[in-house]
Amino acid sequence: MKTTRALFFDVFGTLVDWRGSIAREVRRLALGVDGEAFADAWRAEYQPAMEAVRSGGRGFVKLDILHRENLDRILPRFGLDEMAEADRAALNLVWHRLDAWPEVPAALARLRSRFRLAPMSNGNVSLMADMARHNGFVWDAILGAEWARDYKPNLAVYRAGCDAFDLAPSECLMVAAHSSDLAAAREAGLRTAHIARPDEFGPGLGETGPSVSVDHAARDLAHLAEQLLS
């Protein structure tokens, strides 16, 4: 087996707390709705929206566009259908400034001492760039959906990332908190590492461990850095 030279990261849920961040923004804006319920409803539209692209039902569009369509879809459910256009556009950008899980920035900095690092996310480039600036992430490239013009878990997304770094899939390690993401990456030939995020979808509602075969399983990103750098 070849030596690992690059680490690819799922971002939403693995590196950043999307649920808590959106809930905090809803409370800051005093929208008068339950922040966690709003975050859950918005996120629930995520996979169906991308599936239309993955299945060929529509051409590729950036995740920012899908997030905005999904926001417009859920606002009436919360009695917010009169929200002004400018306020909708501003709220949609909350995805650009999601807060990292506490150990992530320092762990990424440690890992970058040995490996190339890139997000392998369904988020578009501007979203990933803004989130990196918000959290102090330093990437060697921004890869993923917009680069591949497709959405995970379609295998082309992972393979396009490997090609961008001129590496064989076996030289790349996919890091994620979602077993389905890792199963697809493994099918594409990448090595895999699972990060436990037991509270991603609410207390006790995230993955505490992988449900598929992986090369590494860690309790958080700092623990994975210990495994890879020891």
Q: Which domain holds residue 184?
A: 6-17+99-229
**Are 74 and 131 contained in the same domain?**
no
Residues 80 and 139 placed together within one structural domain of the fold: no
Same domain assignment for residues 214 and 144: yes
Inter-residue contact 94 to 25 (CB < 8 Å): yes
How confident is the prediction along the chain (230 residues), in pLDDT tens digits per residue? 579 999 999 999 999 999 999 999 999 999 999 999 999 999 999 999 999 999 999 999 999 999 999 999 999 999 999 999 999 999 999 999 999 999 999 999 999 999 999 999 999 999 999 999 999 999 999 999 999 999 999 999 999 999 999 999 999 999 999 999 999 999 999 999 999 999 999 999 999 999 999 999 999 999 999 999 98
193 and 212 fall within a common domain: yes
Task: Give the domain-ending residue among 65, 97, 129.
Answer: 97
Are 189 and 210 in the same domain?
Answer: yes
Tell whether 108 and 197 lie within a shared domain: yes
Does a structural domain hold residue 220?
Answer: yes
Report if residue 106 sits inside a domain. Answer: yes
Write the CATH number for 56.
1.10.150.240
Whether 143 and 168 map to the same domain: the answer is yes
Instruction: Indicate the number of domains in the chain.
Output: 2
What pLDDT, on the 0 to 100 scale, is given for residue 1?
Answer: 53
- Is 154 contained in some domain? yes
Q: Identify whether the C-beta of residue 191 lies closer than 8 Å to the C-beta of residue 173.
A: yes
| Phi/psi at 141 (5° precision) | -165, 165
The residues near 178 (Cβ < 8 Å, ≥ 6 apart) are 10, 13, 14, 207
Residue with the two structure tokens 């997304």: 157
- For residues 113 and 158, give the distance between their C-alpha atoms in angstroms, rounded to a whole number: 23
Which residue, of 97, 115, 144, is where some domain finishes? 97
* pTM, two decimal places: 0.96
User: Does residue 1 lie within any of the structural domains?
Assistant: no
In this structure, what CATH number is given to the domain that contains residue 216?
3.40.50.1000
Listed residues 80, 97, 114: the one ending a domain: 97
In a domain, 221, yes or no: yes
Same domain, 198 and 208: yes
Same domain, 223 and 207: yes
Is 75 within a domain? Answer: yes
Shared domain for 108 and 10, answered yes or no, is: yes
Q: Are residues 146 and 209 in the same domain?
A: yes
From CA 170, how far away is CA 186, in angstroms rounded?
A: 9
Q: Do 117 and 67 fall within a single domain?
A: no
What's the pLDDT score for residue 230?
Answer: 86
Report the alpha-carbon distance of residue 22 to residue 17 in Å, rounded.
9
Q: Is 43 within a domain?
A: yes
Is residue 201 included in any domain, yes or no?
yes
